[in-house]
Amino acid sequence: MKKKSLTDLTEIGLTETVLTEAVLTEPVLKEKLSVKKKLILFTLFSSYALIMPSMIFAVPPNQNLSADNLEQVTTMSPADVSSILIKMSENQNSNEDYYLKNNLEQANKIKSQSNFIVPRLEQVIPDDIRKEIDEKRSMKKSTSTGAGADEDEKITKAELETTLETEVNEEVNLSKYDTKVKVQFGGTCTAFGLIASMENLINHSYNVANPKSTDLSERHLWSTYRQYSVYSAIDAAKANYITDESYWPQSNTSPYSGHLSHADTRLIKATYIEGDIAKAIGALNRGNPVYLGTSTSYGMVNCAAIINPNSGNSGGGHALEIVGYRLDERITGGGYFLIKNSWGSDCGDKGYQYVPFYHCKRTGMYCVMWELNQVETSIDDQDPPPVVFAPEKVEVKNSYYKRPLQLNYRVNLYLNGDKKYLKLIDTVTYTLQNAGYSPYTLSSDQYVNNFNWFFQVRNLSIPVKIKIKLKTGEVYTKNTTIK
């Protein structure tokens, strides 16, 4: 049992109307967290189980994993993707990828960011690993045994079931358990891909009602290793507990105070399966996401929705989450993977891309993969009931003070209410009437700071209009006066 506590303003002797600037520049954390239990989420044999004191939750093998049984996250149907890949496979002289609207525009937008980086392949997958892969490929080609042994061999369902010694679904889609698609900063794909995989495993193992609510801090994980290597990312995720996004948002170069006391999540076990496509399919078939480090093709870096089996090698390296597959012997290599990228929802198909198995088998292209098996995290004892926003429960408060010999008042505007309501807010926009300020908008990650806005004015008695936009789209308006 691990008890969490956060500091309430009244507990440190402060009133609503007199708050020092020093306090308000740190998160004003008034939420009382319930007692939480440390849990290890994992798969046991062919079932998925969550061990809790006196309780085991299990999902039978091969159940509720096929794409037909899961909510559609992407826009393209598996049949449509297969149809396009089949045509690509039939035209071996073409390397054209398949794009949806705005794919190239989004890719160029990402690449135009001053800090955007696609690492070199050798930075993501070291030279010695790629040399070892090449040697194993040569040996497999000479013996040509087992599913996926040769570059030109197509993986079939029958061969997979023989190799894996279990029944295999024709297709699996675990994207239902994914969190939202994000846009990475710099060359941090190794952190974003691994965090996405860990969040997926947590959501699936615990059957989290709202998967988007699981939100770990990629910036925190990145800070523990700061290398482009997928191997370094795995080691760091095993060695360090990671905090929530709210305590170290991507937009902040530094964490909020107390972030380590809320760092509860750590990777316990990830099975290294090298570039073995059959083992990756086996992992997904068991309901486990796969972490992928890979060579980049031009289709991948240009945000194509469907990557041509012969898409040109761009020379870069990337890391992503594999959340699904589809078997189809008519496609070069025998099928395709569904991967979640970290370049925004306009990249590919709502942030996802379809990559043929052949991508990992081609000469000069490389894949290394891990099946995520166990993640330790902190989960509430009981799932809370769904929260409905109550505008009357959220008040607009202000505090102000003037230092000796200074002309301006220092003012703080903030929302006062239970964190369960503040978490539902997408943006808060403050508009001062006749004070010379433009409307000021705060994003959802500022809920830990009670959407606090600090500014200076010469006079008080200023009317303020506050627009509160929820993540569901509803908008509420409140008015107050600074006096």
- Tell me how far apart the alpha carbons of residues 369 and 231 are, in angstroms, rounded to a whole number: 10
DSSP label at residue 360: G
pLDDT at residue 26 in the model: 32
DSSP label at residue 216: B
Specify whether 62 is located in the same domain as 91.
yes
Specify whether 145 is located in the same domain as 291.
yes
Per cent of the chain over pLDDT 70 is: 81
pLDDT digits (tens, 9 = 90+) for 205-223: 888 888 888 999 999 999 9
User: Is residue 142 domain-resident?
Assistant: yes
* 95-99 contact pairs (CB < 8 A, 24+): 95/298, 95/308, 95/310, 95/311, 95/312, 96/308, 97/297, 97/298, 97/299, 97/302, 97/304, 97/306, 97/307, 97/308, 97/311, 98/304, 98/305, 98/306, 98/308, 99/302, 99/303, 99/304, 99/305
User: Is residue 88 domain-resident?
Assistant: yes
User: Is residue 3 domain-resident?
Assistant: no
Q: Does pLDDT of 28 surpass 70? A: no
* Domain boundary residue, one of 343, 360, 380: 380
Domain CATH code at residue 101: 3.90.70.10
pLDDT at residue 39 in the model: 53
Domain CATH code at residue 17: 2.60.40
**Closest C-alpha among 407, 417, 404 to residue 452:** 417
Specify whether 258 is located in the same domain as 363.
yes
pTM of the complete model: 0.70
CA dist 146 → 16, 140, 153, 357, 358 (Å): 70, 9, 10, 15, 16
Tell me the longest C-alpha to C-alpha distance in the chain: 86
Q: ∠ CA 441-446-452 to the nearest 5 degrees?
A: 70
Specify whether 19 is located in the same domain as 103.
no
pLDDT digits (tens, 9 = 90+) for 282-291: 999 999 999 9
- Tell me how far apart the alpha carbons of residues 169 and 191 are, in angstroms, rounded to a whole number: 30
Count of domains observed in the chain: 2
Specify whether 156 is located in the same domain as 208.
yes
pLDDT at residue 81 in the model: 97
Find which of 207-216, 226-235, 260-269 is predicted with most confidence, using mean pLDDT: 226-235
Residue 150 pLDDT level (bands cut at 50, 70, 90): low
Residue 183 φ then ψ, to 5°: -115, 115
Specify whether 405 is located in the same domain as 425.
yes
Specify whether 373 is located in the same domain as 463.
no
CA dist 414 → 198, 363, 396, 448, 482 (Å): 34, 58, 6, 11, 12
- Tell me how far apart the alpha carbons of residues 421 and 231 are, in angstroms, rounded to a whole number: 39
Specify whether 127 is located in the same domain as 139.
yes
- Tell me how far apart the alpha carbons of residues 193 and 339 are, in angstroms, rounded to a whole number: 10
Specify whether 30 is located in the same domain as 46.
no
User: Is residue 2 domain-resident?
Assistant: no
pLDDT at residue 217 in the model: 96
User: Is residue 249 domain-resident?
Assistant: yes
pLDDT digits (tens, 9 = 90+) for 361-382: 999 999 999 999 999 998 654 4
Rg for the chain, CA atoms, rounded: 25
Residue-number span of the structural domain to which 331 is assigned: 37-380
* Domain boundary residue, one of 380, 406, 441: 380
Residue 71 pLDDT level (bands cut at 50, 70, 90): low
**Closest C-alpha among 479, 466, 470 to residue 389:** 470
- Tell me how far apart the alpha carbons of residues 394 and 97 are, in angstroms, rounded to a whole number: 49
* Domain boundary residue, one of 320, 348, 380: 380
Specify whether 170 is located in the same domain as 223.
yes
pLDDT digits (tens, 9 = 90+) for 117-142: 899 999 999 999 999 999 988 887 77
Specify whether 346 is located in the same domain as 451.
no
